[in-house]
C-alpha cells in the first residue's frame, strides 16, 4: 500500500486487518440481529472501544450477507456494503482469471480492484497481481483480502496513473457512476451507459491498446454495436442470472465477436457451456406460418447475446419473430441452456379473446411471459377477467410476436428428455 494519509474509515479498516481486532472479528458468534445489543454490551464490558465494536459487528453482518453470493470465502473477507454489491462471484472471477492465465501473461493489473474478489481469483490462479484502488477504505479491505498471496499487492492510486506495460495482463471492472433507479415495483433497475463507467470506457480501451491481454466486466446491458473491432464479448449467466458482459482484447481473445456463456453451479465446482453464433442461421417464422408444437426459450445470457438463432439451428426450429427470442421446434431436445413448453393454442393478442378461451376451460390463474410486444402484463391480466376460485386451473401465456403478428400462446412447461 502507498503510505498516503488514511481517512478515519480506512484507519479502522486497517485496524481490522490483523492483531487483536482481527482475532475479535474472527471469533464473533454467527451474526444474529436479535443479539446485537447484548453482544455490544458484552464487548464493551470486555474493554473494547465503541468504534471497534461497531466495526466488527458491521463486518459480521456484511459477512453473513456476503455468504449467499460469495460462498465460504466470505467468512475471511473484510467488506464494505458498496464493495460487496459490486464484488464478482468467485466462480465467475475464476473464469476471468483462467482466461488471462491462458493468454500467457505473468502479471495482471486489476484496475479498480474494489474489495479484490477478481484479484483474489487472479492470484489464486498463480498470477502476480497489482490491484489498483483509489478509495482508501476499500483499498485497505482489498489489502487484507489479498494478504494470503505473496505475489499480490494493492496500490492506492487512480488507474490513469499506473504504468501498464506491453507484456502485462489487465483486468477492469469499472464502477457505475450513476446508481440504479427504482422502477414502479420498487426494484432497483440499473441503467447502463458506457459514459457512466469509472474507470471510463476510454480508459478501458486505452489499457486494452497497451496491455498484452485485457478483460473488462461490463453490464449485461452492453450493446454488441459498441464492441470494438477484433474484441470479443461474452454474456455470462450463472444459475439463470445474467451477471455480466465480459469483453476481451489482445491475447485474451479466442473468437472475435459475441457469444454467451451459461454456467451452472454445483458443490464440486461450476460447469460452463459456450453458445456461439452459427454460420447459416434458420430464418424466423414467416407471416402466416404455422407454429410448431414445441417452444424453446433460451437462457437469458443467450438472449442478451442476441443468439436465439443458435438455438433455432440446434433444434431445427425457427424464432417466432426477429428478436423475440422464443424458438418454435418440431421436437423437444435436451439442451441444457433452454426451457421447453408445449404449445397448446395460438390466439390473437386480445385480452378479451384470450380471457374467453381460458374461462371456457376453467382457467382461473395465469403466469404471463412477455417479450417483443408493448403489452402491460398487469393490465392484460386484469382484462382477462378470470375467476380465481380454489379449483381453478392454471395456464402459462406467452405474449409475443409470431411471424410479425402480436399473439398470445397458451403453453405448458415440460421437462427435457434429460430431466430425472
Ligand atoms: C466494481 S468495483 C470492482 C469490484 C471487484 N472486481 C471485485 O470483484 O471485488 C470498481 C472499483 O473501481 C474503483 N475505481 C473507480 N474508478 C477508479 C479509478 N479511476 N482509479 C482507481 N479505482 C477506481 C471504485 O472505487 C470501485 O471500488
C-beta of 218 in contact with ligand 1 (< 6 A): no
Q: Which three cell numbers stand for residue 342?
A: 408445449
C-beta of 159 in contact with ligand 1 (< 6 A): yes
Q: Directed axis angle between helix 90-102 and helix 117-124, to 10°? A: 50
Phi, psi of 165 (to 5 degrees): -110, 170
Distances, alpha carbon 187 to alpha carbons 81, 87, 192, in Å: 18, 20, 16
C-beta of 94 in contact with ligand 1 (< 6 A): no
pLDDT digits (tens, 9 = 90+) for 335-344: 999 999 999 9
pLDDT band at 4 (very low <50, low <70, confident <90, very high): low
Cβ(323)–Cβ(285) below 8 Å: no
Alpha carbons 274 and 268: distance in angstroms, whole number: 20
C-beta of 87 in contact with ligand 1 (< 6 A): yes
The CATH number, out of the four listed (3.40.50.300, 1.20.1050.10, 3.40.50.150, 1.10.10.60), of the domain defined by the range 84-275: 3.40.50.150
CA of 239 to the centre of ligand 1 (A): 25
Pocket test residue of 71, 113, 130 for ligand 1, highest count of atoms within 8 A of CB = 113
C-beta of 325 in contact with ligand 1 (< 6 A): no
CA of 142 to the centre of ligand 1 (A): 11
Longest dimension (CA), the chain: 79
CA of 387 to the centre of ligand 1 (A): 52
Task: Please tell me the residue having the least CA distance from ligand 1 atom 4.
Answer: 114
Average pLDDT of span 119-145: 98
C-beta of 396 in contact with ligand 1 (< 6 A): no
Q: Which three cell numbers stand for residue 110?
A: 486489476
C-beta of 138 in contact with ligand 1 (< 6 A): yes
CA of 137 to the centre of ligand 1 (A): 12
Q: Which residues of 49-88 are buried (b: 16+ CB within 10 A; e: fewer)?
A: eeebbebbbbbbbbbebbeeebeebbeebbbbeebbebbb
Domain boundaries defined on the chain: 18-66, 84-275, 294-414
CA of 114 to the centre of ligand 1 (A): 4
Q: Is the pLDDT of residue 303 over 70?
A: yes
C-beta of 132 in contact with ligand 1 (< 6 A): yes
Q: Directed axis angle between helix 50-70 and helix 19-26, to 10°? A: 50
pLDDT digits (tens, 9 = 90+) for 203-261: 999 999 999 999 999 999 999 999 999 999 999 999 999 999 999 999 999 999 999 99
Task: Please tell me the residue having the least CA distance from ligand 1 atom 27.
Answer: 114
Atom of ligand 1 nearest to the CA of 203: 19
C-beta of 199 in contact with ligand 1 (< 6 A): yes
C-beta of 198 in contact with ligand 1 (< 6 A): yes
SS3 277: coil
pLDDT digits (tens, 9 = 90+) for 234-247: 999 999 999 999 99
Query: Can you give the pLDDT at residue 420?
Result: 45
Alpha carbons 355 and 361: distance in angstroms, whole number: 10
User: Mean of the per-residue pLDDT values for the chain?
Assistant: 94
Query: Can you give the pLDDT at residue 415?
Result: 76
CA of 316 to the centre of ligand 1 (A): 44
SS3 177: coil
pLDDT digits (tens, 9 = 90+) for 158-202: 999 999 999 999 999 999 866 555 544 444 555 689 999 999 999
Task: Please tell me the residue having the least CA distance from ligand 1 atom 3.
Answer: 114
CA of 252 to the centre of ligand 1 (A): 21
C-beta of 135 in contact with ligand 1 (< 6 A): yes
pLDDT digits (tens, 9 = 90+) for 345-393: 999 999 999 999 999 999 999 999 999 999 999 999 999 999 888 778 9
Atom of ligand 1 nearest to the CA of 135: 25
Task: Please tell me the residue having the least CA distance from ligand 1 atom 25.
Answer: 135
C-beta of 162 in contact with ligand 1 (< 6 A): no
CA of 297 to the centre of ligand 1 (A): 35
Task: Please tell me the residue having the least CA distance from ligand 1 atom 7.
Answer: 87
C-beta of 117 in contact with ligand 1 (< 6 A): yes
- Rounded to 10 degrees, the C-alpha dihedral 280/285/287/291 comes to 160
Amino acid at each position: 500500500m502507498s503510505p498516503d494519509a488514511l481517512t478515519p474509515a480506512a484507519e479502522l479498516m486497517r485496524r481490522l486487518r490483523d492483531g487483536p481486532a482481527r482475532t475479535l472479528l474472527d471469533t464473533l458468534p454467527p451474526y444474529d440481529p436479535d443479539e446485537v445489543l447484548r453482544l455490544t454490551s458484552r464487548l464493551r464490558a470486555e474493554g473494547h472501544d465503541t468504534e471497534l465494536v461497531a466495526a466488527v459487528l458491521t463486518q459480521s453482518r456484511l459477512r453473513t450477507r456476503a455468504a449467499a453470493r460469495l460462498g465460504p470465502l466470505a467468512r475471511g473477507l473484510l467488506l464494505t456494503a458498496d464493495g460487496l454489491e459490486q464484488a464478482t462471484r468467485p466462480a465467475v472471477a475464476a473464469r476471468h482469471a483462467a482466461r488471462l492465465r491462458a493468454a500467457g501473461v505473468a502479471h495482471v493489473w486489476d484496475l479498480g480492484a474494489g474489495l479484490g474478489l477478481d484479484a483474489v481469483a487472479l492470484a489464486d490462479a498463480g498470477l502476480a497481481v497489482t490491484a489498483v484502488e483509489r478509495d482508501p477504505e476499500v483499498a485497505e479491505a482489498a489489502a487484507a483480502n489479498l494478504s494470503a498471496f505473496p505475489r499480490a499487492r494493492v496500490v492506492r492510486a487512480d488507474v490513469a496513473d499506473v504504468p501498464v506495460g506491453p507484456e502485462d495482463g489487465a483486468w477492469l471492472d469499472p464502477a457505475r457512476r450513476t446508481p440504479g433507479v427504482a422502477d414502479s415495483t420498487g426494484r432497483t433497475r440499473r441503467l447502463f451507459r458506457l459514459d457512466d463507467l469509472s474507470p471510463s470506457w476510454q480508459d478501458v480501451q486505452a489499457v486494452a491498446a497497451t496491455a498484452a491481454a485485457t478483460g473488462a466486466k461490463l453490464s449485461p446491458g452492453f450493446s454488441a454495436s459498441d464492441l470494438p473491432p477484433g474484441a470479443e464479448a461474452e454474456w455470462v449467466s450463472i444459475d439463470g442470472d445474467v451477471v455480466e458482459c465480459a469483453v476481451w482484447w489482445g491475447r485474451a481473445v479466442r473468437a472475435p465477436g459475441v457469444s454467451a456463456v451459461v454456467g451452472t453451479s454445483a458443490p464440486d465446482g461450476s460447469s460452463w457451456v459456450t453458445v456461439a453464433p452459427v454460420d447459416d442461421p434458420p430464418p424466423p417464422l414467416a407471416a402466416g406460418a404455422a407454429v410448431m408444437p414445441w417452444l424453446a426459450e433460451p437462457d437469458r445470457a443467450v438472449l442478451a447475446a442476441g443468439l436465439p438463432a443458435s438455438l433455432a439451428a440446434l433444434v431445427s426450429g425457427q424464432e417466432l419473430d426477429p428478436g423475440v427470442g422464443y424458438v418454435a421446434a418440431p421436437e423437444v431436445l435436451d439442451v441444457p441452456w433452454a426451457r421447453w413448453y408445449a404449445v397448446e393454442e395460438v390466439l390473437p393478442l386480445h385480452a378479451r379473446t384470450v380471457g374467453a378461451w381460458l374461462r371456457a376451460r376453467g382457467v382461473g390463474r395465469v403466469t404471463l411471459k412477455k417479450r417483443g410486444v408493448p403489452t402491460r402484463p398487469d393490465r392484460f391480466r386484469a382484462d382477462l377477467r378470470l375467476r380465481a376460485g380454489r379449483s381453478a386451473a392454471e395456464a402459462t401465456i406467452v405474449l409475443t410476436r409470431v411471424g410479425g403478428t402480436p399473439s398470445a400462446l397458451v403453453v405448458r412447461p415440460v421437462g427435457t428428455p434429460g430431466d430425472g
